[in-house]
Structure 1
């Protein structure tokens, strides 16, 4: 059964190039777990850089993450930590 959770993007650039690249690199470690991101009615593969950046999700955007597979708990926790830590971006 899939897990889904809503998040607010806290970093200043949203799912721009660097945060998306960091997410994809990390999420590709969850080989047997499907990870999708939904925003504004569009659902994309969370392991695809082009797909994530195509969402156009900016700061304060509410996104939904849907995970399904044997590592879904660990994956959702990892995503939550990355979002809460603003993808490691320094705030200016």
Structure 2
């Protein structure tokens, strides 16, 4: 199974709190047959879990790795990177 990864930087001032995490999860859930994980240092969480993302405690400037595998993994990765680059709509 193909695995694609990309690093993103948290750009919004408040970091990855509940609202941005919810926007990320909403986007991730569009890809039902794609496994999505977000990695910070040694912590790896399900990218479809709001609580998992919030547990990363990612403040502004934090670098996270998004890892996708399964159907449409490249499209999912592109969409999630776009959400992050747009500061999660904040």
Task: Name the structure 2 match of 1:74.
Answer: 75
Name the count of aligned residue pairs: 89
5 Å-filtered alignment, 1:1-92, equals 1-89=2-90
With the length of structure 2 as denominator, give the TM-score of the two structures: 0.95
Following superposition, the deviation at residue 40 of structure 1 comes to 2.3
Task: Using the TM superposition, give the Cα deviation of residue 71 of structure 1 relative to its aligned residue in structure 2, in angstroms.
Answer: 1.0
Segments of 5+ residues of structure 1 without an aligned counterpart are: none
Question: Unpaired runs of 5+ in structure 2?
Answer: none
- What CA distance in whole angstroms lies between the structure 2 residues aligned with 1:29 and 1:83? 16
**Ranges of 4+ aligned residues in structure 1 off by more than 4 Å:** none
